[in-house]
Amino acid sequence: MSSDLESSPEIQDIRKRVEDFITEFIYPNEKALSRGGDEAWSVEQSLEQAEAWYLMQSIQQKAKERGLWALGLPKEIGGGGLGFMPYVFVNEIVGRSEYAIVGLGTHSAQDATMLNLYGSPEQKKRWLLPLVNGDVYPCFSMTEPEVSGADPTGLRTRAVQDGDEWVINGHKWFISGANRASFATVMTVTDPDAPPYERFSMIVVPTDTPGFEIVRVVPVMGEIAGGHCEVRYNDVRVPLTNLLGPRGQAFKIAQKRLGPGRIYHCMRWLGQAQRAFELMCERAISRHAFGGPLADKQTIQNWIADSAAEIQAARLLTLDAARKIDRGDEARVEISLIKFWGAKVLHDVIDRAIQVHGALGVSGDTPLERMYRHARFARIYDGPDEVHRMVVSRRILREFKEGRKFDFARGVASRKFKQEL
């Protein structure tokens, strides 16, 4: 992996094209898209919501015309064909607005990756190609209200074989996009007597299947376009052929979704943090108080310096983890590091930007108040901060207990050593 990958003409060109697209089509339409509410991209809605839906449709069409659609997915399934590392750098730009994620087809990347890697030819024809094209939306059905999301081995949803069908019963929530999804990929117990990590399978369930019940859209702080739903599976019957990948391998399949996905999330957080940083600096220069611009005040200067250092540290941590994944390393410690550190940086930079804006910062006249509310999710989804900290410390301490150092340069244990006291 070339160390100057980021400055390659290919990367710089695609980042510039994506940034220009967001500036031209996303930023000017953010307020109109936000009025669409939680069902902004479903056509069966109020007039105002429908206007937002058609607006997003037109943005997506422009992205396709400019060759910017679903950039991280293979060309043979309708994507842009970017490799993993180039797509990592693109996500940093896409993250500047949550509407760019849908507008550029980035939202389907994780579910499409699972289907592409593990789907049967029939599954790919029915769901993958329409998904990548933006004709249908997916949802990933894993989290349950009765079980800690930090310990998915306790999930209770069950799928029982009955003839040539699976019969699924269970209760899920925070299933993002279920209210507009055409299908759900359900993580469910299929082999209750197997070892914990082999009890679960992935099964694809069309959302129009009898027994698939959306109980409600869960009210969530600041979420304006996700539709985080509570869902019940009431004797839902689907063919055995809807099994995604090998039986009992749900955790392996989920890791293929979550590992690179966490890299993308953290790069998008950096895009958000950088946008907030720019707004903070512009405000500090233009706003005058107590005889001069805010930029002359030492406290403001400290906030800008701290934010710059934290963003750069988070960026380098994330790129280090990405490069290790690109080489085939699972990078478990590095991914956990960027998850909790990136979430903190995202929150703190936006918080400082709001403070510099004063009352304007908590109004709807800037994107900061929306960004701040969304940033609070980052410490919970894809594993709470506390779990990721635990993963990091346990793995490092295990190496020391076994007489090895943790090599920060390589991210692995070094040779055995004897600590000289």
- pLDDT digit string, tens, across residues 113-136: 999 999 999 999 999 999 999 999
Residue 40 pLDDT greater than 80, yes or no: no
- Rounded to the nearest 5°, which phi and psi values hold at 43? -75, -20
CB burial string 280-295: b at 16+ within 10 A, e below: bbebbeeeeeeeeebb
Length of the chain: 421
Residue-averaged pLDDT of the chain: 90
Residue 223 pLDDT greater than 70, yes or no: no
Distance, in Å, from the CA atom of 178 to the CA atom of 111, rounded to the nearest integer, reads 13
The structure tokens listed for 415 are 């040779």
Question: What proportions of the chain, in percent to the nearest 5, are helix, strand and coil?
Answer: 55, 15, 30
Burial of 238 by CB count in 10 Å (0-12 exposed, 13-18 middle, 19+ buried)? Answer: buried
Give tens-digit pLDDT for 91-121. 999 999 999 999 999 988 889 999 999 999 9
| Beta partners for residue 184, in sequence order | 139, 205
The structure tokens listed for 338 are 């960027």
- Rounded to the nearest 5°, which phi and psi values hold at 164? -100, 25
Distance, in Å, from the CA atom of 11 to the CA atom of 95, rounded to the nearest integer, reads 16
Give tens-digit pLDDT for 274-295. 999 999 999 999 999 999 999 9
Radius of gyration, CA atoms only, the chain: 22
**Unique residue bearing structure tokens 């709807």:** 364
Q: pTM of the full predicted structure?
A: 0.89
